[in-house]
Amino acid sequence: MPEPEMEGLTNFLYEMGLLKRYKRTGWWIAGIDNPESIAEHSFRTAIIGYLLAVMEGADPARTAALCLFHDTQETRIGDVPSVGKAYVVTAPNPELTADQVADFPAEVGQAVREVVDEYEARETVEAQLAKDADKLECLIQAREYQAQGHEDVPPWIETSAAALRSESARRLAEACQQVPPRQWWKAFAEAYPRLVNPRRQPTEPSHAEADAEDMPDRSVAEDVRKR
């Protein structure tokens, strides 16, 4: 028999596991066969929210927490795609959250409800930045699907960019539309020689050589930059 006070929390943690399995349905509409999960989207949304809040002078940890919980109701109603909302009415998210945490120890349930209520009310700077993070994450993911060859994602990029409210989110969206996903490892690869020297003591010269072969070489990296 589980301790009664722990049972509601335990149920909630298993319920959250469903977000690892649930896919973001919008990407199916965009033609992606096996898209990201809601958990994956929420992870990067929270990272983005943290950064945006620092840039905008808001509370970064609080913003990240708002992002973390922003889709947690979808365990119960699924991820109704935007185009489907003409046909579907769902209970308000704060009501769903209230049901999810009904058997929590009181102060824990309260802390979760406050996060969801704040996000849904969209009144604090943190809540507005969390919404921007949600949209910006969608834009970045669309850019990544585009680099995988998917032709039908531009509306997701453009609609997400158009929905952004904060100056920082708009500047980031602008940069993300110019910088391709491959850029990050190109920059990383270029830093390799500088990184490798102070830190590595290869014991076998033949290995060092093999590693050099494994590295995208300088001229290739130059090419990548120019694309």
Scanning residues 110 to 139, which ones bind its own copies (CB under 8 A)? 111-112, 115, 120-122, 131, 135
Q: Residue 5: which of 79, 143, 104 has the closest Cα? A: 104
- Minimum Å gap between C-beta 129 and its own copies is 13
Q: How many residues bind its own copies (CB under 8 A)?
A: 140
Residue 36 region, left (φ>0) first, then alpha (ψ -120 to 50), else beta?
beta
**Interaction between residue 87 and its own copies (CB under 8 A):** yes
Task: Single out the residue of 42, 97, 128, 166 in contact with its own copies (rule: CB under 8 A).
Answer: 42
How many alpha carbons fall within 13 Å on the CB side of residue 126? 20
Sign of CA dihedral 145, 151, 154, 160: negative
Contacts of residue 22, Cβ cutoff 8 Å, sequence gap at least 6? 37, 38, 74, 75, 78, 79
Residues 2-21 that bind its own copies (CB under 8 A): 2-3, 6-7, 9-21
Q: Which of residues 46-65 bind its own copies (CB under 8 A)?
A: 46-48, 50-51, 54-55, 59-62, 64-65
By CB atoms closer than 10 A (0-12, 13-18, 19+), residue 53 is: buried
Please, are residues 143 and 181 in contact by the beta-carbon 8 Å criterion? yes
Distance CA 192, CA 197 (A): 9
Entry field: residues in the chain: 227
Binding to its own copies by residue 140, rule CB under 8 A?
yes
CB of 73 to its own copies, least distance (A): 8
Query: Is the CB of 125 or the CB of 192 nearer to its own copies?
Result: 192
Q: Kindly identify the residues of this chain, within the stretch 21-40, that bind its own copies according to CB under 8 A.
A: 21-23, 25, 28-34, 36-37, 39-40
Residue among 105 and 125 whose Cβ is closer to its own copies? 105
Contacts of its own copies in 150-209 (CB under 8 A):
150-152, 154-156, 158-159, 162-163, 171-172, 174-176, 178-189, 191-192, 195-196, 199-204, 206-207
Q: Which of 63, 64, 67, 69 is nearest to 16 (CA)?
A: 69
Q: Site for its own copies (CB under 8 A): which residue of 24, 58, 79, 116?
A: 79
